[in-house]
Amino acid sequence: MKGLASLPVILLLSWSALAGPLELSISGGPAATSLNDINTAILVFNTLITHLNETLAVIPGVSGHVDPLAPMISGIALRASERYWVADWIAFSGRFEYSRLATSTRGQYQGAETSTIDVSAALHNLSVLVGSRVEFLDVGLRLSGDVAVGYFYTTFDHAVVFEIPSEYPDAISGVPPQGEGRHAGGTLGLEVGLSMSYPVADGLSIEALLAYRSATIPVLADAAGQSLDLDGNGAPESATLDGLSVQVGFSLAIDLSLDGEKGE
């Protein structure tokens, strides 16, 4: 019993002897994401909307206009990180990241009846990554490089109403399917980046980060297992998450060593 009672003390002393500075950081900023297939589908929507606007504008008794959808390229990203410095220049890191992109449009054509076009889409991505940070310059302003791998999980919510006015003169093909749904999927990916940090108080720094991610989710599926086919052409859309993010935030260093040295 005495040996068992001393075990937690031994473990605590061992941890304290090995422990170094722990750094916590929170940041956020704009993010760009390619979303190649999804933006190609949005281009199909916009081609039809532009054609309807131009055609219906010269038909007597019909009024109305629908704005094209903005491509899903830019959004917002947030990051919460934890880094454990094993030496003055290198740290192991783990972090959560969240990003969101969205687009929408809504308009009506007034003729013999009201025809509505109402399209919205939003992509949410949550990433869990582990990696390392290497500091290669410290002249007051500290410059570091990051590399991490992890899992990217994405959900894509969409709702489509696409009504063609009865006054439209010809049969029209390629109209996107109507309805709403949520599709999701995940994949492993890579992220690399550069960071600059500047201490403003003991243990507190402000930092700026530039990061590039590379990950592609081949298929987004709904609860029934149906793949995302936003434009209805029979070819499922993948989610290409490649892109850049620029973030600004702050970090807080916590010294876990018994001697109280910073190790920075």
* 69: in domain: yes
- 32-59 pLDDT, tens digit each: 999 999 999 999 999 999 999 999 999 9
Identify the bridge partners of residue 104 per DSSP, sorted by sequence position.
Answer: 120
* 7: in domain: no
pLDDT at 6: 47
* 2: in domain: no
Question: Three-class SS of residue 94?
Answer: strand
* 12: in domain: no
Backbone angles phi, psi at 4, to 5 degrees: -65, -40
Task: For residue 233, give the amino acid letter.
Answer: N
* 8: in domain: no
Instruction: Judge whether residue 7 has pLDDT over 50.
Output: no
Instruction: Judge whether residue 11 has pLDDT over 70.
Output: no
pLDDT (mean) for 8-26: 59
SS3 content of the chain, % helix, strand, coil (to 5): 15, 55, 30
Residue 227 DSSP code: B
Backbone angles phi, psi at 30, to 5 degrees: -70, 150
Instruction: Judge whether residue 169 has pLDDT over 60.
Output: yes
Length of the chain: 264
pLDDT at 171: 74
Q: What is the largest CA-CA distance in the chain?
A: 95
Question: Three-class SS of residue 69?
Answer: coil
Identify the bridge partners of residue 95 per DSSP, sorted by sequence position.
Answer: 81, 129
pLDDT at 29: 97
> Based on the structure, what is the number of domains in the chain?
1
Range of the domain at 131: 17-255
CA distance 75 to 88: 35
- 131-165 pLDDT, tens digit each: 999 999 999 899 999 999 999 999 999 999 999 99
Residues 6+ apart with CB under 8 A from 144: 133, 134, 135, 136, 194, 195, 196, 197
- 171-225 pLDDT, tens digit each: 787 889 999 999 999 999 999 999 999 999 988 999 999 999 999 999 999 999 9
pLDDT (mean) for 227-234: 94
* 128: in domain: yes
CATH number for the domain spanning 246: value is 2.40.160.20
* 208: in domain: yes
* 245: in domain: yes
Name the pLDDT band for 16 (thresholds 50, 70, 90).
very low
